[in-house]
Structure 1
């Protein structure tokens, strides 16, 4: 059975049980009320003169006694010898317990049938006006039973209609409530069938279903982004590794050919070839590392933590000092905390400072400032032409003047990706006075000193 069917059945059963309990309780309350009214009417004592008349007329046809008194009840007298003296038409056979009441005892109330077959409710007690006898009063319960049968029929019909209505309402409710689940199911089946991660589910409201839809959309977005990065990694690796692999293969083939043909290379030429092979291996290792770093998913999740960005920049500055021992560094870092990937932000700071060291002239100055979440790194290098600035964050892009320098062309792309994942932005400019200024903005609250 489908979830919609189970929910509809559950609602219908729950309503049916509730209606049955209410109907049964209503019937019992009415039954008890009507019975109590009859008991109250038959508990009233029979007048003494009518008791006396019944005793005198016992076994004789004297007349004068009413069949029913004004309340609609019948009565009879039970003598000490067990004989029953009827006060009118109709008589109820007494039980032994009722006969014993001529000597006293607690009154007895019971259901019985008269000698002419009429169902009655009987109340028997010792007669106060005539010691030694007991009086039974009784009243027909036919009207009560008929009314209860009608009430039972009405309650049955109402209950059936209520259960049917509940089933229809449950079906409508299940269909309405599970409509988002149906959309989610269709989306999952579509993804499984077509491998299309672009499917999104409309989010309505703020309930659990809406939260589930939001989480599903977030999941598919993350999966789509991860798959795109994997595809980009494969494409980039295939494209960029082709050149160094070809060069490496050529050099190795040349070395092997010289050995196989017995025509050894000049020692200096052989040394240069081996140096070239080593450099190509290092270039490939660096390129693969940059590709992996760029493809790494650095979005929010387990990798995202609170990062003391000023400490990250300080560590990157110390690394840059070692790489540029002849340079002067002017550093001003104010405390700033961000939420992001510590490793990615550290790599971004290192790459920006490495570029500043790489392009700074000997004895030049690198200025590093972190104020109000804005990190600026300025060097005194040749700068970047205005027509090249739009391309500096593209993958594998390198300016003509930098192509002779080591590097994969992925450094600034890694910076842009890491800063974007942290919710910030990065820009690169060339001021009129020369040099290059890199600016990273991370809009977070500064660390409060002494705040614990």
Structure 2
């Protein structure tokens, strides 16, 4: 039973792919040279055969003209035929009656062909024939002479072609072996930078030392490859440095609430073991302590959530979609109101369509509102404005608080950075850093300025979805449609009571 050709082809492909690049280059070089030698042999053999045959035909014509001239002078029956030399040329005379004359001792030629007989009868002037028998091949030239014809023949000799072929075979084998060796040497020389690159990558993988750059050598593709790997190592160094800083900052920020939480819990445990909990802690003090514990747990939960969100970076399973940013802002304001009932938010939003991740944008807007709510006085709402400005969606969140000092403005969006005036307030210093990351991921820009009311004005500019795209997608599932005027512009303030 024959094996399927497709299976053999796949097996050969797998075998070839498992070979090293050096081996493949060597094999390819040897095959290329072998094919070149074979093609050169075929072409040279054909050219040599044509040349030898042309030379033999020219010699037969010259000998036939000499014999024909002698036959016309002396007559076909009386002309003296040259003796057979033992090899090479053979002659024959065709008489008018169809009989033939040959020199004594000469081997017999093939019978006179019908075409050669027509030449002897005067139907044509000459004829060049080639014929192969089981033993010998003949090249026979027939020339009209008198009332008959003369023939000069030569045994076809393939020995020059055979000797040439043997020589080409030996040369071809030598060329293939030399080509394989040269290909091996070229592959070794050409792949030397890749070998060093591989060794450096293995060393980095084993030592985990990302500070060792790979020497930039070679040119062209090799140099670009080394530069790309060095850039990748630099990115990994920056990523590891950022992770280390994040871990150090997180440990520092977690230390204080964890220490306070542990001390308060240990105090409660000691008092409970002694049985003096009620006497040592009056109801008012116990309530205050429990409230502090709840606030510390909430702060830890918020910090853990923000650390998780920040550590994930730009990795998210949430897909990008066209959305109305006004809906996101309203949802974030509602969530802020539910988390902190005392916060008062004044919305002035216009429907603006953007392309983004809804949950990430809502988290960023929520952090902006939470940050403003910490500073805004109880009788002053947090003002949230959304409008379209050129090709951007502009979101502004301002408060009536003390504002941000000029010295703190450059670091407002840094991780864990908190101004001296904000140390006593709840928070981790990660909220605005998350805002910055989300805005950057959406191709936008976040800035800080002073509000006309004296507080801080945080502004976010995001690319708005092109109008042409919205129009083209009007018939597509999920495509935006213009909102009614009442929905596009909502303005109001939520009551401050629960």
TM bracket, shorter-chain basis: 0.7 to 0.9
Partner of 1:305: 320
Counterpart position of 1:191: 204
> What is aligned with 1:288?
304
1:331 to 341, 348, 352: 348
TM-score, with structure 2 as normaliser: 0.67
Q: Deviation per CA, 1:168-200, whole angstroms, max 9, x where unpaired?
A: 774576467646644642442232133133566
| Residue 73 to residue 348, structure 1, CA distance change in 2 (3 Å) | same
1:373 Cα shift? 4.1
> 2:140 corresponds to which residue?
123
Q: CA-to-partner distance for each residue in 1:197-246, whole Å, 9 max, x for gaps?
A: 35667699997x78866875675455445434443343233222222222
What is the SS of the residue equivalent to 2:363?
A: helix
SS of the equivalent of 1:369 reads: strand
**In the aligned structure 1, how far is the partner of 2:147 from the partner of 2:186?**
71
2:4 aligned partner: none
Give the SS at the match of 2:209. coil
- Secondary structure, aligned partner of 1:395: coil
Which residue in 2 is equivalent to 1:116? none
Residue 106 of structure 2 is matched in structure 1 by 91
- Structure 2 SS opposite 1:47: helix
Q: Which residue of 2 aligns with 1:138?
A: 153
What are the superposed Cα offsets for residues 342-370 of structure 1, whole Å, 9 maximum, x if unpaired?
Answer: 54443222211221233222342414234
Q: 1:447 to 1:169 in 2, by over 3 A?
A: farther
The structure-2 alpha-carbon separation of the partners of 1:244 and 1:271, relative to structure 1 and needing over 3 Å to count, comes to same
In 1, the alpha carbon distance for the partners of 2:237 and 2:420 equals 35
Please name the residue that 2:425 is paired with. 405
| Superposed counterparts of 1:39-438, under 5 Å | 39=57, 42=60, 47=68, 50=71, 56=77, 64-66=80-82, 74-77=90-93, 85-87=101-103, 91-94=106-109, 98=111, 109-110=131-132, 121-123=138-140, 136-139=151-154, 148=161, 170=183, 174=187, 178=191, 181-182=194-195, 184-198=197-211, 216=229, 220=233, 223-266=236-279, 268=283, 269-298=285-314, 305=320, 308=323, 310-311=325-326, 312-320=328-336, 323=340, 327=344, 329-333=346-350, 335-338=352-355, 343-365=359-381, 366-370=383-387, 371=389, 372-431=392-451, 434-438=454-458
Distance in 2, Cα, partners of 1:333 & 1:187: 56
d(CA) in 1 for partners of 2:209 and 2:442? Answer: 27
Residues 75, 86 of structure 1: 8 Å contact kept: yes
Structure 2: how far apart are the matches of 1:101 and 1:430?
Answer: 117
Change (3 A) 1:211 1:297: farther
Contact 1:109 1:124 in 2 (8 A): no
- Are the aligned partners of 2:385 and 2:397 in contact in 1 as well (CA < 8 Å)? yes
Q: Secondary structure at the match of 1:409?
A: coil
Tell me the residue number matched to 2:472: 451
Query: Unaligned regions of 5+ residues in structure 2, if any?
Result: 1-18, 119-126, 474-498
Q: CA deviation at 1:404?
A: 3.5
Q: Which moved more, 1:302-311 or 1:264-273?
A: 302-311
Cα distance in structure 2, aligned partners of 1:103 and 1:401: 123
Gaps of 5+ in 1: 58-62, 114-118
In structure 2, what is the Cα distance between the partners aligned to 1:25 and 1:183? 44
Change (3 A) 1:175 1:195: same
CA distance in 2, matches of 1:157, 1:401: 92
Matched residue pairs, number? 429
Once the two structures are overlaid, the 10-residue window that deviates more, 369-378 or 102-111, is 102-111
Contact 1:127 / 1:135 at 8 angstroms: preserved in 2? yes
Q: Is the 8 A contact 1:108 1:125 kept in 2?
A: no
The 1:359/1:192 distance shift into structure 2, 3 A limit, reads: same
Corresponding residue for 2:494?
none
**Deviation digits for residues 373-406 of structure 1 (CA, Å, limit 9, x no counterpart):** 4432222222122233334333333334433332
Q: Secondary structure at the match of 2:454?
A: coil
